Chain A
Amino acid sequence: MGYDAAPILRGVSLEIGPGEFVAVMGDNGSGKTTFLQSLLGLLKPAQGRVEVLGQDTRRVPVSWLARQVGFVFQNPDHQLFADSVWQEATFAPRNFSALDEASQARVEALLARCGLGDRRQDHPYRLSYGEKRRLNLISVLAYAPRLILLDELLIGQDIGNATFLLELLREQVEQGNTVIMVNHHPEVTRRYASRLIFFNDGRTIVDAPTEEGFQQLAALGREVYLPSTRRRL
């Protein structure tokens, strides 16, 4: 799995079930984003198989998977293309012909909770970075996907915003949805994730429940990735 002809992920074998909150960690360029993109079928495996919601990603179009899988990209601007906050938030349900009263109510509630309720008519590019990030997440949660993929959602977020977004995600997990989040904060991983997957040079070197995962990371000498309370100074 990779871009152009160069493989990035090799020998990755894992299964993620419903209701899991998975934190994906690893060095820059270790394959985390590639892993997420493969789960939506944006990248197809050259060898092996990726099955999402029982479907082989090579056999179904991305548009089919996108109905069940939400993806928040690293750069918020890459995902904003509607003319107003409301249109942006409701883009996917409209696109899937599923903008009913329930989904509109869900979006309205999410906008209100995220402090964007009175900015419905504003252009998305007029929002602050933190607001754009919240809008990115709202526009994914708007169509209630069963699997939510997040690529470094917390970049540039203050502690209040980050906590708010994480609590939103925790609610999704409590509803039985799956969250897979690329993240560089060990404290966040420990507090919110039920499972830790650590990538190194395109391979998973740790895949375990969070606490056990941190123990394995410590044994591998990856102490900088441990929460501060576990770190030996």
Chain B
Amino acid sequence: MKPRITYQPGHSILHCLHPLVKGAWMLFGTVLVFIVPNPWAVLAVLGLVLLAFSVTGVRLGQVRGTRLFTSTAFLLAALQILFVRQGPVLVQIGPLAPTIGGVEAGVYVAGRFLSVVFLSYLFVLTTDPNSLAYALMQAGLPYRYGFTLITALRLVPVFEQEGQTVYNAQLARGVQYDARSPRRFLTLARQFFLPLLVSALGKVDALAVSMEGRCFGKYPTRTFLRTVHFTRLDATAAVLLLLVTVGIASALAVL
């Protein structure tokens, strides 16, 4: 089974980066692929993102969902190439006549899609969720919300495992996940999510009672055993981000 889309511990430069600085870079990358006017620039951003993966040591091909998202991107590109008719025809293949405009639109859509997905992957795979929550709390997020975030992230693998158990329990009763119609799909989805929802509510209730029992929320502020430090590397990355943002904004203004 491929690894879950969750934090993969490591010591790369991206792993060591402050979560908020990394988040800012991710946000910048996401905005960038939507504002650059050239489809090949989107491909360049995608290339940089893929390059970043090689730095982290995480093999993208081995992460769950990569194949699905890549196939979806190719499908989106193919649809654009087949149906967008702008500019000169590249080649005539029977009734198909892909145009330069269609190819550019395909590159645009697929490049943007994959860039956003892989940027998110990059962030999730290299960021310890606890560090992110602690960083947010140090930046001023009330600790109640920070703890909510930590708990939610901590429960993701639990629910994933529960989902597998519910799925197995249904297979054991002869349920076949072969949705032949929307109605059948809805029935299967309801049968799958109902036990999960009940289990989730039970866990949340137990957790709330447990926290209540330990006086969570008694004080408006709290101390932290663990702190996330802002290092020289983070300062450099933040300044670089600022410079790149200003540079690209100026270039776009000129264009």
Query: A78, B165: Cβ atoms under 8 Å?
Result: yes
The A-B contact count (CB < 8 A) is 65
A3 to chain B: which residues have CB within 8 Å?
A: 1
Chain A nearest CB, measured from B172 CB (Å): 4
CB-defined contacts of A169 to chain B, threshold 8 Å = none
Q: Mark A67-85, 1 if CB is under 8 A from B, else 0.
A: 1011101010111111000
In the complex the two chains form, is B172's CB within 8 Å of A71's CB? yes
Which stretch from A91-99, A102-110, A216-224 is at the chain B interface? A91-99
Complex formed: what's the CA distance from A139 to B153 in Å? 35
Determine if B55 is an interface residue (Cβ-Cβ < 8 Å). Answer: no
Q: Chain A interface residue count: which class?
A: 20 to 34
Contact indicator B195/A77 (Cβ below 8 Å): yes
- Tell which of B165, B171, B202 touches A62, judged by Cβ atoms closer than 8 Å: B171
Q: Which residues of B contact A37 (CB under 8 A)?
A: 168
Q: Interface residue tally of chain B, by bracket?
A: 20 to 34
B176 to chain A, nearest CB (A): 5
Q: Is residue A159 contacting chain B, with contact meaning CB distance below 8 A? A: no
**Binary contact readout A198-209 vs B (1 if CB under 8 angstroms, 0 otherwise):** 000000000000
Asked if B94 is at the interface of the complex by the 8 Å CB criterion, the answer is no
Contact with A along B75-115 (1 / 0, CB 8 A): 00000000000000000000000000000000000000000
Residues of B within 8 A of A82 (CB): 191
Rounded to whole Å, the gap between the CB of B197 and the closest CB of chain A is: 10
Contact A63–B1 (Cβ < 8 Å): no
CB neighbours (8 Å) of B202 from chain A are: 77
Cross-chain pairs A/B with CB under 8 angstroms, 23 sampled: A40-B171, A61-B176, A62-B171, A63-B176, A66-B174, A67-B174, A69-B172, A70-B172, A73-B168, A73-B169, A73-B172, A78-B162, A78-B165, A78-B169, A78-B195, A79-B169, A79-B172, A81-B166, A81-B170, A81-B190, A81-B194, A81-B195, A92-B174
**Additional A-B contact list (11), CB under 8 Å, known A63-B171, A82-B191, A95-B174:** A63-B176, A73-B165, A73-B172, A75-B165, A75-B199, A77-B202, A80-B194, A81-B192, A81-B194, A81-B195, A96-B174
The 10 closest A-B pairs by CB, nearest first: A71-B172, A66-B174, A81-B191, A62-B171, A79-B169, A78-B169, A95-B174, A4-B1, A42-B168, A92-B173
- Interface residues of chain B, those whose CB is within 8 Å of chain A, are 1, 162, 165-166, 168-176, 190-192, 194-195, 198-199, 202
